[in-house]
A and B are shown apart, each in its own frame.
Chain A
Amino acid sequence: MARQILEAIADGILGGGVYALMAAGLTLIFGVLDIINIAQGILVVLGAYLSYVLSVHLHIDLFVGLAITIPVMFVIGVAIQWLFIRPLRGSERTSMTLLASYAVALIIEGILYWVFGPNFVALNAWYTQPNASVKIFGFYVGDIYLFGFGLAVAVVAVLYWLLYRTKFGRAVRATMQDLTAARLVGIEVNRVAAITFGIGVAITAVGGMMYGATTGAFSPNSGYDLISRLLAIIILGGLGSVGGAMAAAIFMTTAEALVDIWQPNWAVAVFYLALVLVLLFKPTGIFGRTAARAQ
């Protein structure tokens, strides 16, 4: 029993890392553009499918394939923002962008169904096999998780460098804090918005690959489940807080893994119930900023 619990915690933390990656992009987009990108879930699935195509049809290794999928997803992200998000202005901007991203999600899902069909597929490699694992502290940790962990660290490091050590990153942080002030000092806010959206989506290339490799099987329908979890995570962690999203991701997946021991059917409900509980006491999320932006 104790071993089961510890295993669940370990699973939770590792799985949480993957969700943390996906959620980080989503909350970053919110922080800078003040919008909730509902399409993030299906974009993760798209990333998984891209890795799938590269792996199965071109025999490119999953991690190597990222060199292709990341730029591709970046471009897709920028295109989505430029075409469908940027033109939306005015007092209803919040709701409109949300609905627009939901519509984009529908379109992408439909296209995925069209191209790949409703069947489940999986990402496979030598390191995703059940026996490809390493023994750490008496537990077997799948190779994919080890590599993934390293990858996540790398992504976070790059993100950190980007945000805190480059001029662009300064522009992003300035825009996050005060849009008008950023404009006044000459920051090209539109460009920052587009690129940040692109980055947020590019991260889903990584998240998608990891998701596809760790989840067993996925289909275009997986997007719904994903986006609802991601939304719960970023709200729990506080909209706009990357660190909060990561902490929330790990917390929630661990809780789910624990509940799964006794009640596998209801495990996923833990996600949402945790969200509800937190919102009862702190409507802005655990790390949420209390100052509300004008709606």
Chain B
Amino acid sequence: MIAGTRPDAAAGPETGPAWADPRQWKRAGIGALILGLVIVIVFPLIFTDATVSNIAVQTVIFVAVASAWNIFSGYSGYLSLGHAIFFGTGAYAVGIIARDWQLNGSSVFALLPLAGLIATMIAIPLGLIALRVRRHTFVVITIAFFFIAQLSASNLAITGGSSGLLAPVPNWSPDTFNDPFYYVGLVIALGTIALSYLIRRSRFGLQLRAIRDDEDRAVGLGVRAMPVKLTAFAISGFITAMAGGLWFYFLSQTFPQFAFDPLFDLAIVLMAFFGGLGTVAGPVLGALVLEPVQLYLNLRLTNDYLSEILLGVLFLVIILFMPRGVLPTAGEFITARIARGRDDGAQGGRGE
């Protein structure tokens, strides 16, 4: 042992507070997870109010979208401000096919994966162009492509032009009308969360995150950047499109500015940041908090202008003061407090 080197076993925030057995925490975490699952599954059966279930449907949709966005942008560090392209494509794909094949009822749900595939077919060429440039430019290209998409929706006959599309209205019982949408959305959301978790601990996810930290170095070590980024981009687009299709079916209609809404991307970026960018739980928590808030504000405030200003202000506050996300920052704050309390009692604590 060489004198002067730092002792290896330094307990820091990463290794957890010393007063709790990590295994107990893990068990508690799994227990909480199971409890959470039960709650979300029985949720609409308990809260049957239409407004509540309406918010619930849109919330699970955005949980899926935020997580999907995070799978690409959070892990790779390439901020996409054009994910509305996929969302809108999903909406329009479901709308056009349902209209042309005259589908209704539950069979429309089967269109969702198809919408996802269509979005993937768009994502690949888009990604091949956009992912070759550096990050500044990438963001801008996603914005540019977004406007092309919005323009296409307005001008093509097949998309119904600027008046948009109507969805078929299923004749389900009005009491539980929202429930099928909720459960389909829940399945998508849970699937996305599981995928996000698997990706994060996999080699694929490792390569993505290495690209985020130092792409050149990662490439120098043999990480094949383009296939990795493109795959994440395509996966992200697939899920977002499914969510968009579901959202369209649920709201029964859409039109270009609605399906391709510039505020959409800002909202999901905010959700991901709020909860902690690049983590599995971050976008989920961000969506769980922000989407109901946003919907609630939309109901209460008669003009959108105020909610726009609030969105901007909230964003600035988070970026300036809690850039790692509200929840991670709060978590660090609490952990630091605990550590400080512990050190005050311990003797000769190492000053860090």
A and B: bona fide binding partners:
yes
- A223 CB to closest chain B CB (Å) equals 10
Chain-B contact segment, one of A14-22, A157-165, A224-232:
A224-232
Asked if B77 is at the interface of the complex by the 8 Å CB criterion, the answer is yes
Closest to B213 in A: A91
Quote the shortest CB–CB distance from A263 to chain B (angstroms). 9
A95, A100, A283, A295, most chain B CB atoms within 10 A: A95
Q: Which B residue sits closest to A114, measured CB to CB?
A: B305
Known A99-B269, A232-B144, A272-B148; contact A106-B308, beta-carbon cutoff 8 A: yes
Counting CB contacts under 8 A, is A8 at the interface? no
Contacts of B323 in A (CB 8 A): 88, 90, 92, 96
A228 to B: closest C-beta gap in Å: 5
Partner of A266, one of B136, B155, B266: B155
Chain B residues lying within 8 Å of A232, measured Cβ to Cβ, are 140, 144
In the assembled complex, the Cα of A95 lies from the Cα of B312 at a distance in Å of 16
Binary contact track A234-247/B, C-beta < 8 Å → 1, others 0: 01000100000000
| B77: chain A residues within 8 A (beta carbon) | 95
Q: How far is the CB of B259 from chain A (nearest CB, A)?
A: 15
A241 to B229, CA, bound (A): 29
Cβ contact of A110, chosen from B152, B273, B312, B319, cutoff 8 A:
B312
B-contact bits for A87-117, CB 8 A (1 contact / 0 none): 1101010111011101111110111011000
Q: A36: which B residues are within 8 A, CB to CB?
A: 136, 139-140
Interface size class of B (residues with CB under 8 A): 35 or more
Contact B308 A110, beta carbon cutoff 8 Å: yes
Q: Is the CB of A95 within 8 A of B320?
A: no
Q: How far is the CA of A94 from the CA of B73 in the complex (A)?
A: 14
Give chain A's interface secondary structure class: helix
Which residues of B lie under 8 Å from residue A227 when comparing CB positions? Answer: 143
Flag if B320 contacts A235 (CB, 8 Å).
no
Name the CB-closest residue of A to B310. A110
| Contact of A98 with B136 in the complex, beta carbons under 8 Å | yes
Q: Please report the C-alpha to C-alpha distance between residue A90 and residue B152 in the assembled complex, in whole angstroms.
A: 38
Measured CB to CB, the nearest residue on chain A to B308 is: A110
Which residues of chain B have C-beta atoms less than 8 A from A284's C-beta? Answer: 133
The CA-CA distance from A106 to B141 in the complex, in Å, is 20
- The answer to whether A280 has its CB under 8 Å from any CB of chain B is yes
Question: Within 8 Å CB of B133, what residues of A?
Answer: 279, 283-284
A287 shortest CB reach to chain B, Å: 14
Q: How far, in angstroms, from A227 to B323 measured CA to CA in the complex?
A: 25
Contact B305 A84 (CB under 8 A): no
**Chain B binding site: helix, strand, loop or mixed by DSSP?**
helix
A residues near B152, Cβ cutoff 8 Å: 269
Residue of B nearest to A107 (CB): B312
Question: Is the beta-carbon distance between B145 and A103 smaller than 8 angstroms?
Answer: no
Scan A157-201; emit 1 where CB is below 8 A from any B CB, else 0. Answer: 000000000000000000000000000000000000000000000
Q: Is B26 an interface residue (CB 8 A)?
A: no
Q: Is B99 engaged at the interface, CB distance under 8 Å to the other chain?
A: no
B197 cross-chain contacts in A, Cβ below 8 A: none
* CB atoms of A268 and B312 under 8 A apart: no
Residues from chain A with Cβ under 8 Å of B139 in the complex: 36, 95, 98
Q: Is the Cβ of A280 less than 8 Å from the Cβ of B79?
A: no
Q: Is A276 on the interface with B (CB-CB < 8 A)?
A: yes
Q: Is the CB of B137 within 8 A of A235?
A: yes
Which B residue sits closest to A111, measured CB to CB?
B309
Q: Which of B79, B137, B273, B311 contacts A106 (CB 8 A)?
A: B311
Given contacts A100-B320, A239-B136, contact A228 B309 (CB under 8 A): no
A239 to B133, CA, bound (A): 12
CB distance from B24 to the nearest CB of A (A): 34
B41 at the interface (CB under 8 A from A): no
Interface centre among B132, B137, B145, B266 (most CB of A within 10 A): B137
Chain A residue at minimum C-beta to C-beta distance from B148: A272
- Does A2 make an interface contact (CB < 8 A)? no
Query: What's the least CB distance linking A1 to chain B, in Å?
Result: 24
Q: Tell me which residues across on chain B come within 8 A of A30, comparing CB atoms.
A: 136
B268 to chain A, nearest CB (A): 12
Closest beta carbon of chain B to A179's beta carbon, Å: 16
B225 within 8 A of A: no
Find B316's partner among A95, A103, A110, A275 (CB 8 Å cutoff): A103
Interface assignment of A215: CB less than 8 Å from any CB of chain B: no
Distance A89 CA – B145 CA, assembled complex (angstroms): 29
Complex CA–CA separation, A98 to B155 (angstroms): 30
What residues of chain A lie closer than 8 Å to B145, measured between beta carbons? 272, 276
B90-121 near A? 1/0 per residue, CB < 8 Å: 00000000000000000000000000000000
A266 to B305, CA, bound (A): 30
Considering the complex, give the chain A residue whose CB is closest to the CB of B314. A103
Q: 18 A–B contact pairs at CB < 8 A?
A: A88-B319, A98-B136, A106-B266, A110-B305, A111-B309, A113-B304, A113-B308, A228-B144, A228-B147, A239-B136, A269-B151, A272-B148, A273-B148, A276-B145, A279-B129, A279-B133, A283-B134, A295-B135
14 further A-B contacts with Cβ under 8 Å, apart from A36-B136, A292-B134, are A88-B320, A94-B135, A99-B315, A99-B319, A100-B319, A103-B316, A105-B312, A106-B309, A107-B308, A110-B312, A114-B309, A232-B140, A239-B137, A279-B137
Counting from the closest, the 4 A-B pairs by CB-CB distance are A106-B312, A110-B309, A107-B312, A103-B315
